[in-house]
Amino acid sequence: MRFDRLRLNGFKSFVDPTDLVIREGLTGVVGPNGCGKSNLLEALRWVMGENRPTAMRGEGMEDVIFAGTTRRNARAHAEVSLSVDNRDRLAPAGFNEDDQFDITRRITRDAGSAYKIAGKDVRARDVQMLFADASTGAHSPALVRQGQISELISAKPKSRRRILEEAAGISGLYARRHEAELK
């Protein structure tokens, strides 16, 4: 299972439809400060079901919608689509019949997010599970945020543990344990 294409429309600084072909091997994204490199990575995380606005550097999830500039109006929606090449048939059961399929997430102001897999309406959970089973996904330790390495080096032991737990995707387990202990 590999990513083929990332399409963005109205997502953060990508106000116009943008189609990014991801070729086999290593992909590098280069450009001046503020040109949208991190936004691209966030789009990838977002379409895989990321639901923490802070992981998108926002206060609310609608902050991912193009907010407008002096010359261009704000958008009412943002949409990101990810094409998955599944010729190796590694997608989990239920999604594993086709050589290729698309996952789409769309957010509308005041109406939240809607997800599709291969054109069918699905829940956020279905998308998150698809990637969880394929050991990738929005919380994958393979996705390292900008600044995370220097945070890790300079952090005190306790916050270093928290960063590592978040990267490993187990911080939720601790939150649930803490909740259980309080009961």
Of the residues 2, 37, 145, 160, which one makes contact with ligand ATP according to CB under 6 A: 37
Residue 150 is a binding residue for ligand ATP (CB under 6 A):
no
> Residue 14: which residues within 8 A CB-CB, separation 6 or more?
8, 36, 39, 40, 43, 66
As a whole number of angstroms, the distance between CA 174 and CA 53 comes to: 20
Compare residues 119 and 147 and give the one whose CB is closer to ligand ATP: 147
Please identify, among the stretches 64-72, 82-90, 126-134, 152-160, the one whose residues bind ligand ATP according to the rule CB under 6 A: 64-72
Which structure tokens are listed for 18? 């943008």
CB contact burial 35-62 (16+ within 10 A = b; e otherwise): ebebbbbbbbbbbbbbeeeebbebeebb
Of the residues 28, 31, 60, 157, which one makes contact with ligand ATP according to CB under 6 A: 31
Cα 177 to the center of its chain, rounded Å:
26
Residue 115 is a binding residue for ligand ATP (CB under 6 A):
no
Provide the annotated binding site for ATP.
Answer: 32-39
Compare residues 16 and 121 and give the one whose CB is closer to ligand ATP: 16
Please identify, among the stretches 26-34, 80-88, 105-113, 133-141, the one whose residues bind ligand ATP according to the rule CB under 6 A: 26-34
The amino acid present at 125, given as its one-letter code, is R
Compare residues 41 and 76 and give the one whose CB is closer to Mg ion: 41
